[in-house]
Amino acid sequence: DGGITQSPKYLFRKEGQNVTLSCEQNLNHDAMYWYRQDPGQGLRLIYYSQIVNDFQKGDIAEGYSVSREKKESFPLTVTSAQKNPTAFYLCASSIGGSAGGNTIYFGEGSWLTVV
Amino acid sequence: SQKIEQNSEALNIQEGKTATLTCNYTNYSPAYLQWYRQDPGRGPVFLLLIRENEKEKRKERLKVTFDTTLKQSLFHITASQPADSATYLCALRVSGGYNKLIFGAGTRLAVHP
C-alpha cells in the first residue's frame, strides 16, 4: 500500500544524545515535511523539502537537522541542541511544494521522550 | 499578531445531532483552508479543502463554510456517529513565498450514543 512510514513509533533519548527519526514515502511525492505537535498547540513546521537535495528551515528548525538524498526519504535528526525535544513528530508529504493546494499526507507519527 | 484559533474545549454531542466546529483566524489572507481529522496517537488525515472564492463545500456528511469577511470557517458533521469522535484540525495556506500550511490546535469532538 502507498503511504508514509515513520520509525520508530516510540523513542527515548538521553540528555546530550542525538537521535534520528526515519521517514519513508512511496507516494512519489516531491515535497516532504516534518512537523512537531505539542499538547494544546497546532502542528509546527520544523523543516521542509520541495525537491531532492534541497530543504528549507521551517518555523522551529533550531536543534534539528535533515537530509534529502533520495526522493522517498527525509530523516530528521534531533540534536542535543534541542532543549525541549519531548513531543510527537509527524512526517508528511505532498505532490508539489505548494502545500496548501495539494493534500498533505501524514505518517503515523513518532513519540520522542527525553529520559 | 497572526493567530488561528479553534475552540480548545471539547465538543460533546449526542449521536444523530449535527456537530459544528469553528476555526477563526486573524491577520492572515489565506488562499485555502483545509480540515483534517486526527485520532489519538496518529497522524492527521485530510478531509476537505475550501478555496477563498468558495463559500461552501460538501462531502458526504461533512460541510465546510468559509467566510473571508468574518475570517472564519465552520465545519459541520451531520447525523454524527460515535465513530466521528476525534480531534479536528483546521489549516490555512498563506499566500506569498513558500505556501505553507498553518495549523490550529484542534478541537476534540466526542459523540455519545
Model confidence at A17: pLDDT above 70 = yes
Contacts for A48-53: CB closer than 8 Å, 24+ residues apart? A48/A97, A48/A99, A48/B98, A48/B100, A49/A74, A50/A96, A50/A97, A50/B98, A51/A97
B97: pLDDT strictly greater than 60: no
A 24-83 residues with CB < 8 A to B? 35, 40-45, 48, 50, 56, 58
Whole-angstrom distance, CA of residue B25 vs CA of residue A12: 36
A43, A36 contact by CB (below 8 A): yes
Minimal CA–CA distance to A78: which of A49, A36, A39, A44? Answer: A36
Among A104, A108, A111, the residue to mutate for chain B (most B Cβ within 10 A):
A104
Give residue A14's Cα distance to chain centre: 20
**Residue A84 sits at the chain B interface (C-beta within 8 Å):** no
Q: Span B44-65, mean pLDDT?
A: 94
Residue B95 — pLDDT band, cuts 50, 70, 90? low
Res A2 pLDDT > 80: no
Q: By a Cβ cutoff of 8 Å, what residues of chain B touch chain A? A: 4, 8, 30-32, 34, 41-46, 49, 89, 91-94, 98-106
pLDDT surpasses 90 at B47 = yes
By the CB < 8 Å criterion, does A5 face chain B?
no
A100 and B92 within 8 Å at the Cβ level: the answer is yes
